[in-house]
Structure 1
Amino acid sequence: MVTLASMEPLLPDSSRELEDLAIELTSVASRFAARLHPIMRASVGDLVRSMNCYYSNLIEGHNTLPIDIDRAMAGDFAREPEKRNLQLEARAHIEVQQLIDRGEMPYPVLSLDGICWLHGEFCRRLPDDLLLVRNPDTGEEIIMVPGQLRTRHVKVGEHIAPEPEMIEPLLARFAEAYSFKMLSKLQKIVGVGASHHRLAWIHPFFDGNGRVSRLFSHALLRDLGIGSGLWSVSRGLARNVSDYKRLLSQADQPRRGDLDGRGNLTEAGLAEFTAFFLSCCLDQVTFMEELLKPEELLNRVEVWCNEEVQMQRLPKGSWPLLREAILTGEFARSQAQALTGYQERQARTVLSSLLDCGVLTSPSSKGKVRLGFPVDIIERWLPRLYPAVR
């Protein structure tokens, strides 16, 4: 029988490695956020939500291509039911993350209601086919209710998840421990990695626990001011997916002896997973910071733009408008004439061409324009963001 003590320890013992990772993550994330224009941060946030969704799906074995995610967000769904379902799943993930990023989560992240809200918001957007869960051992089919805690016993790999009646008390203890007022900022950041594992260990829902855990960690990082809207921990986890799954499983193990903490579960395993998780976060912040250095982004976009003009796919005068969007975040349509040096009608034609191909975007037909990141140019502007963009 699982008790509240079965989940201990909830935090690994303090160590120089974990503290150093938390300090560096805080420093690098703050520096990165400060360097980007607020409008550019919003554009990057749109891109990162799509990227986060892509990699979170990849971890689950669902390879929904970036172009299909892009089409799903535009309401353009495939006719094949399986592909359409995966597109709907991707859109659900992005829409829930949008709510988180806009501060529209109605409950604290660290609460039973908050965790159930994440699952409910994600699952209620899914097609019925994806709410049908099959027990691999018995073949029994269960229709999952969005936001409803698990009501039956389950085994996940080698891990026997806690009894259904213990889920609510475990989540209450979970929320209390990680939001404890006496925790320092560094301990709370370390707690993001530890809580990611412990939420997976509780396995509160029939299905969707992996995605909920990653959305939960994204929301918790945001709450702690790490600026996770500009980078995706899911990319780091997906690029090291075998280590991610191995270390998650390893941290499920019981204490390894008298030198392995004082709780029921292995403290060393939790510390190793937490260090891995924070290292993935740090790696992704550093990667995105390098990728979005203004001078390097300017150079890549200019090379691409010159090629497009040479191939007559874009009109001359396109580069000054793209450069202005990168440097200032956004500009008024009326500035196109001065930026290009063309007469008003010709300047409008150049601007329209850039808007039509999605490299500039605007919220309305007369609104200011800002940089866009259409899928078909991602590899040129932001190389290695995806394994391959098709």
Structure 2
Amino acid sequence: MTPSFAEPYIPSEQSIARSVLPEKAIELEQKSHALDCSMAAPAKLILEKHMRAVNSYCSNLIEGNNTKPWAIRRAAAGDYNADPVTKNLQLEAVAHMRAQDWLREQSIDLKTLCARDFICELHRVFYAAMPDSMLVIKNDTRKTESILVPGAFRDRAVIVGRHVPPDPNYLGAFISRFQDAYGSRREGIVPIIAAMAAHHRLVWVHPFLDGNGRVARLFTDEYLRQIGVGGARLWIMSRGLAVSHAQYKLRLHRADIPRQGDYDGRGNLSEKELIAFCVYMLDTALNQVDYITELLQFDGMIRRIKSYVLARNEDRIPRYGKLPPEASTILERAFVTGTIERRELYEMFHGRSERTIRATVQQLKAEGLLSETSSLSPLSWAIPEHAESYYLPDLTPSIRPSS
């Protein structure tokens, strides 16, 4: 088996032009850019940080790990469940967050992102802190076991459903061709289409014994950012893939099939099904951009902040008491501007005592509704767990994890 078995890596120009891919790619680029420009930079950073646990939850949920975002955040802070099985799942989810952080710290280009060394390092970063028990992989017959080596290509043949990925001896050649196909800069909307096609082809090659889906989703997130899709950290592709996980797995499977006749491209695999997969991925991305854009509209968010404060003052949020009258105004201002200078608070509430304002700010900080980097820094909008369902309703999809 040679790298030509995964052709076409990208649909032909003619096939793209005849499809709905161009209009969807343009729409994604425009909507994601508009979302990126709609938030104040400090509030945007807060939201991006909050989304890390949601991204981890959704990506791992697709693989059957149903560790909720609140449990992931607590584990990231060192608070693990006493049950060993639950703790291992938390470790897996935290590993996903750390891989996201690692990706943000890298200074790379598209060619490096698609290289064997980088893809292996991403896998290694993900699995490096896993306990030994999480690295034991059952073979296809379930009668024998293999040990997953973080960052190492698999050394044995595997079967994934009906798909037989490339023999391990040819993985290097396939990833080299993968880099050639997807690591070059292109003009127009083709890079966005390439990002979606690359997701399938990386899963198809299946370079690792385990973790291929998670690595592919992390890879796709970073690919979108590398090609300049603005706001790509504000919306989460994996959330849409988790919501439609049955369709996601079906589309991955359908894109595995061989070419279906002379009118189905010129590669070994079906070009029509690759296009259908890319359409599905773009639709998923657009759905998530629309969802987050609607949530972050000023009028809607201000209304939900007011609703949260009202719920607090009507004792509808357990374990949290009433909020002072100034709280709603402070939280609304923090969202709109991203940060508030402390002196602004005294100007906003002219006539109120400094002691009252300080007490209100102290309560909002203590409850995670405002954050700061120091006692003198501006105050930033924040999203504590007890406010998430009000600020960002339905952010965490409630679905049955796959088996």
Match runs of 1:241-390 below 5 Å:
241-311=245-315, 312-341=321-350, 342-388=352-398
What RMSD in Å do the two structures reach over aligned CA positions? Answer: 1.8
Aligned to 1:158: 162
Shift of 1:125: 2.4
Q: Distance in 1 between matches of 2:346 and 2:46?
A: 24
Instruction: Note the alpha carbon deviations across 1:78-135, whole angstroms, 9 max, x for none.
Output: 0001111111111111121122234456982121112111101111122222111111
Name the SS for the 2:233 alignment partner: helix
Q: Distance in 1 between matches of 2:91 and 2:374?
A: 26
Name the SS for the 1:133 alignment partner: strand
1:49 aligns with 2:49: no
Relative to structure 1, the CA distance from residue 169 to residue 218 in structure 2 (aligned partners, 3 Å threshold; closer, same or farther) is: same
- 2:393 maps to a residue whose letter is P
Shift of 1:75: 1.3
- 2:68 maps to a residue whose letter is L
Instruction: Note the alpha carbon deviations across 1:237-286, whole angstroms, 9 max, x for none.
Output: 11111111011011111111111111111111111111101111111111
Contact 1:201 1:252 in 2 (8 A): yes
- 2:361 maps to a residue whose letter is L
Instruction: Note the alpha carbon deviations across 1:173-210, whole angstroms, 9 max, x for none.
Output: 001111234x3231111001100000000000010000
Q: Distance in 1 between matches of 2:398 and 2:142?
A: 39
Instruction: Note the alpha carbon deviations across 1:31-74, whole angstroms, 9 max, x for none.
Output: 11011111111011012211111110110011111221121122
Q: Distance in 2 between matches of 1:365 and 1:86?
A: 36
Aligned to 1:111: 115
Contact 1:119 1:147 in 2 (8 A): yes
Q: Distance in 1 between matches of 2:124 and 2:301?
A: 38
Aligned to 1:140: 144
Match runs of 1:148-227 below 5 Å:
148-181=152-185, 183-226=186-229, 227=231
**Counterpart pick for 1:61 among 61, 64, 70:** 64
Unaligned regions of 5+ residues in structure 2, if any?
316-320
Contact 1:150 1:204 in 2 (8 A): yes
Instruction: Note the alpha carbon deviations across 1:312-346, whole angstroms, 9 max, x for none.
Output: 42223211211221111012334333334432222
Relative to structure 1, the CA distance from residue 62 to residue 9 in structure 2 (aligned partners, 3 Å threshold; closer, same or farther) is: same
Instruction: Note the alpha carbon deviations across 1:134-178, whole angstroms, 9 max, x for none.
Output: 114142222211111111111111111101111111001001111
What TM-score do you get using the length of structure 1 for normalisation? 0.95
- After alignment, is 358-367 or 79-88 more displaced? 358-367
Q: Distance in 2 between matches of 1:388 and 1:325?
A: 29
- 1:336 maps to a residue whose letter is L
Q: Distance in 1 between matches of 2:115 and 2:62?
A: 25
Relative to structure 1, the CA distance from residue 205 to residue 237 in structure 2 (aligned partners, 3 Å threshold; closer, same or farther) is: same
1:29 aligns with 2:32: yes
**Counterpart pick for 2:21 among 18, 22, 42:** 18
Aligned to 1:131: 135
- 2:27 maps to a residue whose letter is E
**Counterpart pick for 2:86 among 62, 83, 86:** 83
Relative to structure 1, the CA distance from residue 102 to residue 45 in structure 2 (aligned partners, 3 Å threshold; closer, same or farther) is: farther
- 1:155 maps to a residue whose letter is I
Residue identity over aligned pairs, in percent, reads: 36
Name the SS for the 2:120 alignment partner: helix
- 1:85 maps to a residue whose letter is N
- 2:335 maps to a residue whose letter is I
What TM-score do you get using the length of structure 2 for normalisation? 0.92
Q: Distance in 2 between matches of 1:272 and 1:184?
A: 22
Name the SS for the 1:228 alignment partner: coil
- 1:327 maps to a residue whose letter is V
Contact 1:315 1:353 in 2 (8 A): no
